[in-house]
Amino acid sequence: MRKALRGYIVSGNTLNPFIPQRVQNLVIRDYCESNSLDFLLSSTEFSFEGSDQTLKSLLKKDESKDGIVFYSIDQFIFSQKILSSIEEYLSVGKEVHFALEEKKLASKKDLKDLSGLIKIKALSNSPSQASSISDSLLRIKDFVTPLHKSSKRDYLERVTSFNKADCAIIAKEFGKDYWDGERQFGYGGYSYDGRWKEVAEKLIKNYALNNKSSVLDIGCGKGYLLFELKKILPDLTISGIDISDYAIKNAKEEVKEFLSVGDASKLPYKDKQFDLVISNTTFHNFTIDKLFMSLAELERVKKGSSWICVESYRNELEKMNLLYWQLTCDSFYSTEEWIWLFNKAGYSGDFEFIYFE
């Protein structure tokens, strides 16, 4: 059964008059048609002054409809009152859609995943910045997040049972203790178990990789993700680089010949050499200067797409858990700060954030 939605055009200082209502209408109608949603357009205009009350009013209307579809997340400065109103709206089975970003909120979890990004609205002081933020939201992926959430972590134990500062010093050597030593120093034993197969499948599908493609993994570790990519696409050209001599020496035998020890800020590759450049949980280990240099190097060697996954936080609880758990993180930023840094550094690819909930 098709769901019936009512749509709203909400004009504000960041969009009006630069994105006319007729354009917003077309985007909303196209979104609903693409998602098999019945749509009744209802247009409402207002500025940011008094927007909390107006939005709260909209969320209480349309009792006969299954939800609301707005033109874009960029239109609003979300206050805690608005987030509470949306949460209440979702709790009775309604849905909130954002057509431009193709985002749907159908549960409290969906709202939590989105709420950390909403604070970047504070950067929206011009139409160009609003456009940049919309683009940033579309670039967020979730390839590793399900795998990350499947692991259990005792955050407090790491700071109450061990001298965490000493453990971090050992971990930053990225030697045997980090990869295959006790848990307080890092992975607690990092051996092949097939867990990266699902991530490899997602990367292949999302970036349309084939046997003629080339992939570079920055911070490849023991090469397990590259191994899974190569298993699915035997003729795929792969390269991996990691700062850890131990990881490369103990890498998966099938891909070891394609891996090398090196520095992400000085990549030994040609300009535009790779169709896809990936980096999983590595860039947060760089200081701010090396982070900018490494992002520039990544941009230099790619000719197509890229994806970076880093540790981050959306609230004080996740911030504290990350402080407790991390051992090697030198770039310790919230989600919106990471997005700002990526854009400031000229990074044009996709990104993913893992959180310690």
Residues 6+ apart with CB under 8 A from 135: none
pLDDT tens by residue, 146-203: 999 998 899 998 889 999 999 999 999 999 999 999 999 999 999 999 999 999 999 9
pLDDT of residue 17: 44
pLDDT of residue 136: 61
* Range from 21-25, 211-215, 228-232 carrying the lowest mean pLDDT: 21-25
| Mean pLDDT value across residues 40-68 | 65
Output 335 or 282, whichever has higher pLDDT: 282
pLDDT tens by residue, 274-333: 999 999 999 999 999 999 999 999 999 999 899 999 999 988 899 999 999 999 999 989
* Range from 84-98, 181-195, 216-230 carrying the lowest mean pLDDT: 84-98
Neighbours of 120 (CB within 10 A): 22
Q: Where are the domains of the chain?
A: 3-125, 145-354
pLDDT tens by residue, 106-152: 888 888 777 655 544 444 334 444 444 445 666 889 899 999 999 88
% of the chain surpassing 70 pLDDT: 81
Task: Look up the CATH number of domain 3-125.
Answer: 3.40.50.1390
Is residue 24 very low, low, confident or very high in pLDDT (cuts 50, 70, 90)? confident
The topology under which CATH files domain 145-354 is Rossmann fold (3.40.50)
pTM: 0.67
Strands (DSSP E) contained in 71-183 are 95-98, 103-105
Q: What 3-state class would DSSP assign to 216?
A: strand
Would you say the CATH fold of 145-354 matches that of 3-125?
A: yes
Q: What is the mean pLDDT of the chain?
A: 85
pLDDT of residue 167: 95
pLDDT of residue 34: 85
- How far is Cα 279 from Cα 216, in angstroms, rounded to an integer? 8
